[in-house]
Structures are given as C-alpha cells and as structure tokens.
Chains A and B, each alone.
Chain A
Amino acid sequence: EPEVTQTPSHQVTQMGQEVILRCVPISNHLYFYWYRQILGQKVEFLVSFYNNEISEKSEIFDDQFSVERPDGSNFTLKIRSTKLEDSAMYFCASTTDSGANVLTFGAGSRLTVL
C-alpha cells in the first residue's frame, strides 16, 4: 500500500538552529500538508500546499517556517531558528484532492529542541 515517508524520524537540535524535515508524499497525490502535535495535545494544522504554492497556513506558520517542493518527489518543512516550543511531532500528509478527501499521514518526525 502506498505510504507517505518522512525523515528523520527523530531530530534533536539546539535552540536557534535551522531544521529541515523531509517528506515524500504518495506519488499520485497533488495536495500536501504539514501538521504538528505537541506531546499530549491535539493535531494542529500548519500549512497546505498545491501546485507549488501555499493554499492556506495557520497562525502557527509564521515567518520562521517555510515549505518547499524542490523536486518532483520531496516536500520539505524548514524552521529557520528553532525555539523550545517548536518541540513536537511533525506529520506530513497528502491526498489526491483538496477539501473533503482522506489525508494519508506519514509516521512523523519528532523534533526535540534543547
């Protein structure tokens, strides 16, 4: 069964450092998403992406965050200068269509900021 692949599975970084989280969405999917989940809290929407553009972003997705699809397969989330409160599990998701459609999630990248 096709799956969304995320790397790294776990990253530990120092506050102020840049982090790039990588995702390979399912190959025929066109819509891509990043969500985060702070330990013990709910899954929060960060950003949606289609046709090489951001479709929507949340208040969490401030100037420290950026997304990119550098080639035909990868979808990346960059955090420029990490803060302690960025420690969370980051999930990438993809789907064939926007709106009322099933998102398939990757296994997540756990980010720990010290």
Chain B
Amino acid sequence: GQNIDQPTEMTATEGAIVQINCTYQTSGFNGLFWYQQHAGEAPTFLSYNVLDGLEEKGRFSSFLSRSKGYSYLLLKELQMKDSASYLCAAGDDYKLSFGAGTTVTVRA
C-alpha cells in the first residue's frame, strides 16, 4: 500500500520562499511527483524525481531522498497566483498515489 504525508496548510508572503515536505512509504516505488491543483480544477504537473537529488525548474525545485522516503517542493519568488493546493504523489508500475495535498496561501 501507499502512505503519503504532507502538511495540510502553509501561508507565506508574496516574494518569499516556501518549502513543502512530503514523506512516503510505498511498495514498488519508481518516482515522486508534484502536482499543483487550483480549487475546482484538475491537477497539473509541476516536477518529478526518479533519482536522489534536486531538480530545478524555474521558480520550482523538487528534492528526493529515496533512502529516507522524503521529498520537498520548493517554491521561490512566490506570486499570488501560486495560491493553490500542492499534491505529492508516489508512482509505482501502475499508478500514482496522491497525498492529501498542502494548501498554500500567498499573502500580499
């Protein structure tokens, strides 16, 4: 089975940096994914890690430690439009399993 934990909510100021942590316990793990979901909309892909280390993609970076079952998503230079839910998801051979999501609120 899959067990994926991430904080429920985070608040940050426009222009700041926020780090969303995710821990996972899965069987058949082969990748860690981050998706963004605005209210009432579909999840959209942000970043993923297959190997340990940091993947940088513009203002968003994601880190993975497979031995620790740990990942984080780093959002830099926060903008108001970044207010959304951020979903951590672990991949196996047949599916992605999602965490409950972290709601990030960006304040002016």
Contacts and interface: CB of A to CB of B under 8 A. Distances in A.
Q: Do A and B come from one complex?
A: yes
Interface of A: 33, 35, 41-45, 48, 55-56, 91, 98-108
Contacts of B93: 98-99
Interface of B: 30-31, 33, 37, 41-45, 48, 50, 87, 91-101
B42 A103 contact: no
Given A91-B42, A99-B31, A100-B30, 17 more contacts: A33-B95, A42-B87, A43-B37, A43-B43, A43-B87, A45-B96, A45-B98, A48-B95, A56-B94, A98-B93, A99-B93, A100-B48, A100-B50, A102-B33, A105-B42, A107-B41, A107-B42
A56 B95 contact: yes
A91 B41 CA distance: 10
SS class, residues of chain A in contact with chain B: loop
Nearest to B87: A43
22 contacts: A35-B98, A42-B99, A42-B100, A43-B37, A43-B101, A44-B98, A45-B96, A45-B97, A48-B94, A91-B42, A99-B30, A99-B91, A100-B48, A101-B91, A102-B33, A103-B45, A103-B96, A105-B42, A105-B44, A106-B42, A107-B41, A107-B42
Contacts of B31: 99-101
Contacts of B98: 35, 42-45
Nearest to B92: A99
B99 A100 contact: no
Given A99-B30, A99-B91, A104 B45 contact: yes
Nearest to B93: A99
B83 to A, nearest CB: 17
Contacts of A99: 30-31, 91-94
A100 B49 CA distance: 9
A91 B50 CA distance: 24
